[in-house]
Amino acid sequence: MKPSLAKGTRDFTAEEVFRRKYIINILQNNFELFGFQPLETPSFENLSTLTGKYGEEGDRLIFKILNSGDYTSKVNQEDWDNKSHQKLTSQISDKALRYDLTVPFARFVAMNHGKLTFPYKRYQIQPVWRADRPQKGRFREFYQCDADVVGSESLWQEVELIQLYLKSFADLKLSVTIHMNNRKILSGLAEYAGITDKLIDFTVALDKLDKIGKDGVIKELLEREISKESIDKLEFLFNQSNDALENLLQLKEKFAGNEIGLKGVEELEFVLTKAVSLGIDIQNLVFDITLARGLDYYTGAIFEVKADEAQMGSIGGGGRYDNLTEVFGVKNIPGIGISFGLDRIYLVLEELDLFPKEATSKVEYLFANFGGEETLEALKLIMKLREKGISAELYPENSKIGKQFTYAEKKGIKNLVFLGEEEIKNGTVTFKNLEAGEQKTVSLEEFLG
């Protein structure tokens, strides 16, 4: 059988793993600096936990897990013959791989709310799975790095999450812009255009603007039975200025008497002005009135982060979800969270050559194998280096020295160490720096530092 990978999945080489760890370590450090605590949840959940939380399109991308045993024997023959997808699914699958980290987190909070201290701040760095069409920057298995706060309605949380985003990307030496909107503004727009009953259709189509353009969005709105009269009222959405506060002022005028729309404007204005007061450059913040993010559970602020110097789509996103735990029978636990897209961040850093050299770990010393007593003494010295936190390894076989040289060069090992009979007798160590091409002999004490 010819070996192959499942579509949308990848193997990671040592260099890639070290680079991914570099990103994760920076994010984890910042999460903890901002007071977030780690959490891990299972890779799969009950199917009922996940369905109905991501909208119609999201539900189709959930990877379902077949029940164990002879699951087909329990299938209703009529459903099988009629190919009733929904009924079939319920009979052959009751588990699914998690689609994101937010819904499992909400499930955790609902199950443990009596034991948690609120506001509860958690971060989570784990893989998720989506049955999406693989393409550049889009995989079926990928990591999310989330930070969420539940149990507080304070808009200062939004301000802090903006700070967390900007500090983390600054530490990665990556210039980004945070695009922002508010779900209440979108609800206000639907009310303004007389399409409140079509809010989900409206936001799903609007969220595709950067992919299909204005004409594509209008075409989809019409296909979703939104009238041309309503679309004409929303024409101004496609002609926004670069001044976020000016755009909010324009909305205030259009939303006169529109309570939910004005509430959204007020919330976003608070977040923007307070962020600027804390020294954040307004150029890093964009009020994107067409940003919807397509997820049904957002109720307030919506974020999306884009790299300034790379064409990659969003590399982070999130928002406020005040009602998510209600579906699990627990009310009044508002929440807000953001996510960092590890895989896309990796691709952007790679494209812009922003990975530091130290992001790839290399073995410091390879000890040549001369066989016999010399090998035992080499291992004793290797043990002492490892106790000092210095990476070292022994070439496993007593091969020709040229073969050992080649191994060290191909693996990128910095130094080749010779501990032969002469060195052991004199209490010295000879080593060659393979990068500089220099060879020297030093005392054992000097070598160990």
3-state secondary structure of 151: coil
Distance separating alpha carbons of residues 37 and 320, to the nearest angstrom: 19
Q: What is the DSSP letter of 36?
A: -
| 99's tokens | 């689609």
Q: What is the pLDDT of residue 154?
A: 96
Reported pTM: 0.85
Is residue 298 part of an annotated ligand binding site? yes
**Residue 144 in marked binding region:** yes
Task: Give the class (CATH, top level) of 14-63+99-351.
Answer: alpha beta
CA–CA distance, 286 with 177 (Å, rounded to integer): 7
What is the C-alpha separation between 366 and 355, in angstroms, rounded? 25
Q: Is the dihedral of CA 273, 274, 276, 277 positive or negative?
A: positive
Radius of gyration, CA atoms only, the chain: 28
The pLDDT of residue 136: 75
For every residue of 379-431, DSSP letters joined together read: HHHHHHHHHTT--EEE-SS---HHHHHHHHHHHT-SEEEE--HHHHHHTEEEE
User: Is 122 a known ligand-binding residue?
Assistant: no
Beta bridge partners of 443: 428
Note the pLDDT of residue 87: 60
CB 187 within 8 A of CB 206: no
For residue 306, give both structure tokens: 């884009």
Residue 100, marked binder? yes
HEC profile for 418-444? ECCHHHHHHCEEEEEECCCCEEEEEEH
Confidence (pLDDT) at 198: 83
Tokens of 67: 């029940």
**Annotated binding residue at 77?**
no
Q: Where does 362-448 sit in CATH, by number?
A: 3.40.50.800
Q: How far is CA 153 from the centre of its chain?
A: 24
Q: Do residues 134 and 7 make contact, with C-beta atoms less than 8 angstroms apart?
A: yes
Tokens of 362: 């290399």
**What pLDDT score does 274 carry?**
97
Q: Distance (Å, rounded) from C-alpha 449 to C-alpha 446? A: 5
DSSP class of 242: S
Residue 102, annotated ligand binder?
A: yes
Residue 107 near residue 51, CB atoms below 8 Å: no
Q: What is the pLDDT of residue 70?
A: 66
Residues in a beta bridge with 338: 147, 318
- Is omega for the bond preceding 334 within 30 degrees of 0, making it cis? no
Residue 124's pLDDT is 98
* Residue ranges of domains in the chain: 14-63+99-351, 362-448
- Lookup result for tokens 């990848």: 10
- Residue 146: closest CA among 338, 307, 279, 412: 338
Residue 191 and residue 198: Cα distance in Å, rounded?
10
- Contact between 285 and 270 under an 8 Å Cβ cutoff? The reply is no
pLDDT tens by residue, the chain, 449 residues: 999 999 999 999 999 999 999 999 999 999 999 999 999 999 999 999 998 888 788 889 999 998 876 656 655 555 555 555 556 666 778 899 999 998 999 999 999 999 999 999 999 999 999 998 888 768 899 999 999 999 999 999 999 999 999 999 999 999 999 999 999 999 999 898 888 888 788 888 887 877 888 888 888 888 888 888 888 888 888 888 888 888 888 888 889 889 999 999 999 999 999 999 999 998 999 998 888 875 567 899 999 999 999 988 899 999 998 877 888 999 999 999 999 999 999 999 999 999 998 888 789 999 999 998 999 999 999 999 999 999 999 999 999 999 999 999 999 899 999 999 999 999 999 999 998 999 999 999 999 98
